[in-house]
Each structure stands twice: as C-alpha cells, then as structure tokens.
Structure 1
C-alpha cells in the first residue's frame, strides 16, 4: 500500500501541474468553506439517517417497556453529545483532517490507526451506506407496489444508482455537497416535526394509554441485554464523529466545531425524544415490535393515504446520511494516505474541484459489492463491537493528552469529566456485549485482526521489489492523469 517516498506528482509536472499547485501556480488543497450553519446541517444530516425511523423497535425489543425505552433514548443522546464534544476538542487541537484516524495514530501508533481505516472500509462505513441505500430505495419504491413486496432486483439497482449519484456529487463539489446536505436536513427534520406535531395533538386529545404505566413490561427484560438496546440507540445517533474529520474545511474551527456540535446534538436529541413520544402515543408496544418501519406504520394510522410522504422523508433522510458519511470518510482515507498508510494516490486532490476525489472513488466498488446479498447486515452487526472500541479509545486520548502535554494549545477544552464518562460508558457497553453476544463480537474481532497482515505487507514492508514499486508508480501516474489530481499542500499540526 505504501509506495516509494518519491512523489509521483513530480512526474506529471510535464503536463502542466505539480504535486501542490495547478499550472497557473494556484495552490491545491482542501478549502475552508463550512461555517456554523452549513456544518451544523452537515452533522444533523449525517446523524439523522434511518435510525430514528427503525431503532425504536430495536430498543423496545431489549427493554420491553415504554419508560425504559425513553430513558435509553435520553441517555444515548447525552452520551453521544459528550463524545461529540470530546471529538471537538481533539479537532481543534490537531488541525489535520482525518478525525479519529489521526488521534489513534498519534496516541496508539500506526497499526491501531490502520485497523480503524481497515474496518471502516471493510463494512463499518461502506456497509452502513449500502444498508442506507437499500432502505432509501425500498421506501421510494414501496408506494409503486401497493399490496405486494418490492422486487429485490429493483431495490438493489436503485440503491446502486443512489450510491453512485451521491459519490459523484462528493467528488466534484464540496459546496454542492453541503447545499444538498442542507436540503436533505430540512426535509428530514420537517418530516420529524410533522410526526412530533401529530403526536402532540393526539397526546393532548387523550391518547395516553401507553404512558399510564410506562415501566410495566412483559416480564422478559434481562439486564444483560441492555448493551444491545444501547447499540440500537447509539446507532441512531451515529455520525457525530464527523465533527473532527472535516477540520481542514471548516471556517474558524476553534469556534465552529464546538458551536455546531452543541446546536446539532441539541436539535437531534430533542427531535428524537419527541418523535418517540409521538410513536408511543399512536402505536402500542406490540404494534411497534411488529413493524419493520415504525415511521411508516405511524403514518398509515395517522395520515392514511398520505403516508407515502413519510416514506419519501425516510428515503431522503437515508440519502442525506450517506452524503455526510462519504464526505467525512473520504477525508479519513485522505489523511491515512497522507500519513503513508494507504496508497499515495488517495492523498491527491482534483485540480479544479479541490476535492480528495481518489479517496472517495476507492470506496465506490466496495459499497456496490456489499449491496449484493444480505451479508452486509451481518457484517455491520459484527463490526459494531469494533466501532465502539475504537471510538472509546479515541475519546480516551483526551485525558491522556491533557496529562502528558498540558502546555499544548487547545482552542476548545471540555471538562475532563466529559471524555472520562463517555469512555467508561463505551467500554462498559463493549465489555458487556462480549458476554451477551460473544459470537458476533468474536467474528468482528477476527475481521478487525485480518487487517494486521495487510498492514505488515502494505505499510511496514518498505523494501518491496523494484517491479512492485515501479508498477505502483505507473498505476498512480495513470490515475493522476485520468482523474486530474495532484498531491495537495502538506498540512502540519
């Protein structure tokens, strides 16, 4: 994976460019163009995906009571906010793009950082987008197939089209990506507000039976299943990690990161809690457990023939989450390449679009392959364990750096209790999940460790045969010419 230190970009200079500038001398690099509003919208748009429309069932399956389900939602919102604020401190301390990859690299070393990238590419991120694309396609097509299931081939083809379209937008324009994200955010939040308002009206009208004895369950609750309920809740809040991955493209990050994080997480948590109150106002626990799409079941009971509008809202919500996820993950690949952990090509930027096009393009075939069959759902389930392990390790670096490097400049600082509480909670969920779902965790751990041979061969093995290095150089040069990309300006802390 790691090519020779010689810059491939120097070879393309004969064609009118260098590794860090265009032919007219203009520097090539990531551009700061995200302010408080656009970045808040980006966080909201990335976090609000399919989770709030699906996860209520997952949480209720493990809590068995309305009251405990609501507590789980509140706790997940608070914990996610603590994690997002901790990432905000790291993002303003380390000014490089790349998010948790950079923090793991600096604290735990290159192998741990590489394994984070490997699991994201293998399924944590790409698999999530495949599932979101399938969900979006299903909701778009469902109104056209009343009374019968949607053909699987049609769902997969539309899902592939959605993925390719979103990847294309991310490759050609950050401003367009940001504007689309604002649009999707407005649509999904508006849809949730409609759900909330309808629920409040019905609640005022006296539909309170599901709240009269909120902690009365069916007797099947087990404390050991609680981490699985948190997994479902945290899945709905997942995506706040974007707060640090985009730091090189954020205007005045020392202010924008914390302000946007607080605004976005407050909006998300408030809307999620009110949406769940609305769900329980209209649907009984038994109806929620029997539904594969809680929002659609809600819409069918409240809006009747107009329920297709909520179907469209869910579809747009999923597309917006894909959009924000690609935007942040491509920056992680970009950073990993810049640090020598992925092919040099992935640290290059398009001359005109100023986007890290290769680091986004590399994920397209992986996401499309994961659309085939249903194995992607199992992969995501297996790797949830590793996802929260890496996030816990990342947030745990905040107190570590505070103690080891107290004199570092930190434009934004959180109270030390914030990262400590989050890290302890995340590690507790990880440890208990080892007991409650040992098979899934074991498979996830095996997939993660499969990245070690790739790291040893691709990164640590520096004296590769000359024919291999020459082949990689020629391949990178061809791709540079084909995609019109050059190596961007080096970014130092």
Structure 2
C-alpha cells in the first residue's frame, strides 16, 4: 500500500516537473522582445543614416533658397508622420510582421503581395543595405588615404565585412541586435545634438546672414519642388520599419503608435535643426559645393575636435544598416512562411529564436550588390517602385475600411490621411518618369512583373518536381543551421488599448 502511494506521488511529481519543464521551454517562434524604447530606436536609428550628414544639398539645389529648403524638410517630416499613422492603423489591425506584404495580401490578395516581396526582397532591401555599408566603408577608409579616394577594392572589402558582422549580430540574438540599435541610435543623436548646439552658439553670436532674406532666389517650378520633396523623403525613408517586426513587439496596440508618434517627429526636429546649424556656418554656395556637409561643418566649427564628425557618421551608418538588416530578415521570413519564398526561409533557430536562414539569405544578396561599379543608379530607378507600394498600402487601408469592417482597429485615422498619401505617392511615382523619361524605368517595371513567371509555377500551381528538388536541400540546411519551422502562427496580443 505504501509502495503504491509512493509510486503515485512520484508519478504526480514527475508529471508536475514535466509540465513545469514544458512551460519553461520557449516555442520555436519569434519572441516578443522589442519594447517601446527599442521600437523608437528602430525607427530613429533606421531613418537617420548618412544622408543628413552627407548630402542635404539635393533639397537645397532643387528648392533654390534657404527658406524653401527648411520648409521642404518640415513638409517631408509631416508626410512621413501621416504615412506612419496609416501604418499604425494597419499594424494594430493586422498584427503580423512583414510590413506592406501582410497588408497588401489582406487587401488585394496574394499576387500583389508576392510582387511586393519579389521586388523588395530581391532588389530594394539588399541594395539599400549594400549602399549604406558602402557609405560606412568610405568614411572608415578616408583617414587612411588623405588627399585621395580610397581604393575601390578596400572600400568593397570593408563593406563586405560590415555586412557579415551585422548579419552575424542579428543571427545571434534579437536582444543583442536591439542593444546594438539602441547604442548606435544614441550615438547619432549625440552628434546631432553637438551640431545643433554649435549652430545655436553661432546664432547667438550673430551668424544669421545666410538665414536673412531666406526666400530670395527660391524656385516656383512645380517639377523642381517635386524633386526637392523626393530627395527629402528619401532621407526620411525608414518610417515604416517597425511594421516589419510587429510580431516581436511587446503590446503592439500601445507601443507601435506611440513609437511612431515619438520617433518620427523627433527625426523631423533633428533634420530641421541640423540644417539651420549648417546655414549658420556655410553659405548656400559652400553647402552645394561640399562633398560631405557635416564634415565641412565640423572642420569650420568644431576644430580641433572635427574628427568626431566622421567617426559618428560611421556609427550612424552602422546603426542604420543594422536596422535595415533586422527588418529585411522579417520580410523574408514572413514571405517564406506564407509560401511565397522557399520554405527554409521561414525556419527559426531553435537556440537563438532568430530567423537565421532569412537573415543569411538577405546578407548574401547584399554581398552580391556591392560587386557592381555603381548601384546608386539602380536604386534611383527602383525608388519609384517603393513609392508605388507605399501608395498601394495606403489604398489598402481605404479598401479594408469597406471590405474588412469586422477587424478590430485600436488606432483609426481619418480617411483623408490615406487618401492624401495615395495622391502624394502617385505624384512621386509619375514625376521622375514624366520629367525625364528613360528606358530604365520600363526595365524596372518589367523586372517587377517578371515575378509572375516564378509565382505561377512555384506558388500558384505548386509544381511537384520543384518541391521534390527542394525537400533534401531543406532537410540538409535544417540540420546544418539547427533551425525548425515555426510552431505557431501569429499570436493575437491580448492587451489592447
């Protein structure tokens, strides 16, 4: 009798221990580890790259004077905020990672979503990642080659090292990637603070000549103003990054809109104040002739501490590249999970809980994009496609107001805001094509539509021999990388506003 009772107690204890062990083991899925501060740092850190430090002269060139230039920077910040508010409604209504991909799929179906993921995964994300690391490499090499440009081989090799380092950090841990993002966001805000304070000091000393008669010589051309807006909005690009990681965001119903409402106005204030600081030390001619505006400002105002500017530009570009890699990996992961990419790309590391195959695939594509002589031209021609997808996403919000009325909307923006975003996107897509029509735009459109040649046999028809070919490859990669398919689909967050 006692032996039977003892066995019963041991059985109960064993069962309790097993249950406790199961509770302690995390499911093989992306974990909610991104808080409000990390979310703000993701937005700010990705938006503020090298652009504000190197080439704000494009906005000045097309606006023609200081006053319109500052107005353009402010208007671009307002437009970015309005666009992000649309994304806040979408992100709290459809709490899936993947950004535009998830929203386009819900509103317009799988074909439009696939064309978005095809274009973004294969061209936009990896080429942007490559451009940011190339900028980082140029600044890092410059002190070692005074008076001349660093060798292309050295720049590209350093860029490759940066890509591999960032991908490794993101593969190791979500928390580590978040800490890196937070640190480098703090670093870039520090250098912006230094530049702004230096500008305020110069203003207090009466250096206001360049700010007086600030509208003299301004342009009235609609085309020129459009190009100025286009260049300004390019510097603000990244305002939608948090929507790519919604599944990893703690309490997305609260933190997503809050991070947007704090992060983007903060970037707008930084951009306007930095431009004012530049004009306290440089004339419009000086600014237009400067190869790197922040470095010229540092040489004139911060000497003998001017070396801190290029150092912090390196920090800024590294942080921006880290944010770009982080979000690109989530888009690739979601595309794989939905069956629009090969299945292995949706697998998650069983030890690290990171989308390891997706991150590695994005990194390898970026390494390929640093090989061509000039990929900036490629990005310029494909940027019209980016704004086309922004417009489609805003249109998706309007469409789902009528077709998906049952969806819970913790954040609901006035319908005029997505309507305005659709109009602005149409203008930004058509303006460069009408202003300077080139065959390259046609080639880009053909590339986007060519995704259908892969979609039809591989996704729609699901041709059996392709899947048989991929099965052993998937199995071997799964064993090699120690990854597994996600155990659960997206969990709905119980906490709501």
Same fold, judged at TM 0.5 (above): yes
Distance in 2 between residues matched to 1:491 and 1:235, nearest whole Å:
34
Distance in 1 between residues matched to 2:115 and 2:227, nearest whole Å:
24
Give the aligned partner of residue 403 of structure 1.
402
User: 1:355 deviation in Å?
Assistant: 0.5
Equivalences for residues 241-256 of structure 1 within 5 A: 241-256=240-255
Equivalences for residues 121-270 of structure 1 within 5 A: 121-217=121-217, 222-270=221-269
User: 1:411 deviation in Å?
Assistant: 1.8
**Alpha carbons 2:68, 2:218 under 8 Å: kept:** no
Give the aligned partner of residue 110 of structure 1.
110
Give the aligned partner of residue 92 of structure 2.
92
Residue range with higher mean Cα deviation, 160-169 or 291-300: 291-300
Task: Give 3-state SS (helix, strand or coil) of 2:56's partner.
Answer: helix
**Alpha carbons 2:346, 2:485 under 8 Å: kept:** yes
User: 1:204 deviation in Å?
Assistant: 1.8
User: 1:448 deviation in Å?
Assistant: 1.8
Give the aligned partner of residue 444 of structure 1.
444
Deviation digits for residues 386-435 of structure 1 (CA, Å, limit 9, x no counterpart) = 00000111022112212222232112222222222222212222222221
Residue range with higher mean Cα deviation, 267-276 or 395-404: 395-404
Q: Which of 482, 487, 490 pairs up with 1:489?
A: 487
Give the aligned partner of residue 11 of structure 2.
none
Q: Which structure 2 segments of 5+ residues have no match?
A: 1-20, 493-497
Distance in 1 between residues matched to 2:291 and 2:426, nearest whole Å:
30
Deviation digits for residues 11-58 of structure 1 (CA, Å, limit 9, x no counterpart) = xxxxxxxxxx99x96421111111111111111111111121234111
User: 1:127 deviation in Å?
Assistant: 0.9
Distance in 2 between residues matched to 1:238 and 1:283, nearest whole Å:
26
Give the aligned partner of residue 474 of structure 1.
472
Distance in 1 between residues matched to 2:39 and 2:461, nearest whole Å:
39
User: 1:265 deviation in Å?
Assistant: 0.8
Equivalences for residues 315-464 of structure 1 within 5 A: 315-439=314-438, 440-464=440-464
**Alpha carbons 2:64, 2:217 under 8 Å: kept:** yes
Alpha carbons of structure 1 residues 454 and 199: separation in structure 2 relative to 1, 3 Å: same
Give the aligned partner of residue 3 of structure 1.
none
TM-score (norm 1): 0.91
Task: Give 3-state SS (helix, strand or coil) of 1:481's partner.
Answer: helix
Task: Give 3-state SS (helix, strand or coil) of 2:305's partner.
Answer: helix
Deviation digits for residues 132-151 of structure 1 (CA, Å, limit 9, x no counterpart) = 10111111121222222222
Distance in 2 between residues matched to 1:404 and 1:110, nearest whole Å:
16
Equivalences for residues 266-281 of structure 1 within 5 A: 266-281=265-280
Give the aligned partner of residue 48 of structure 2.
48
Runs of at least 4 residues off by over 6 Å? none
Distance in 1 between residues matched to 2:437 and 2:139, nearest whole Å:
33
**Alpha carbons 1:55, 1:233 under 8 Å: kept:** no
Distance in 2 between residues matched to 1:472 and 1:201, nearest whole Å:
63
Give the aligned partner of residue 4 of structure 1.
none
Task: Give 3-state SS (helix, strand or coil) of 2:348's partner.
Answer: strand
**Alpha carbons 1:55, 1:236 under 8 Å: kept:** no
**Alpha carbons 1:84, 1:243 under 8 Å: kept:** no
User: 1:298 deviation in Å?
Assistant: 1.1
Give the aligned partner of residue 70 of structure 1.
70
Task: Give 3-state SS (helix, strand or coil) of 1:240's partner.
Answer: coil
User: 1:218 deviation in Å?
Assistant: 7.6
Q: Which structure 1 segments of 5+ residues have no match?
A: 1-20
Alpha carbons of structure 1 residues 147 and 58: separation in structure 2 relative to 1, 3 Å: same
**Alpha carbons 2:55, 2:292 under 8 Å: kept:** no
Distance in 1 between residues matched to 2:282 and 2:457, nearest whole Å:
54
Distance in 2 between residues matched to 1:237 and 1:138, nearest whole Å:
22
Alpha carbons of structure 1 residues 346 and 305: separation in structure 2 relative to 1, 3 Å: same
User: 1:83 deviation in Å?
Assistant: 0.9
Distance in 1 between residues matched to 2:70 and 2:26, nearest whole Å:
53
Give the aligned partner of residue 284 of structure 2.
285
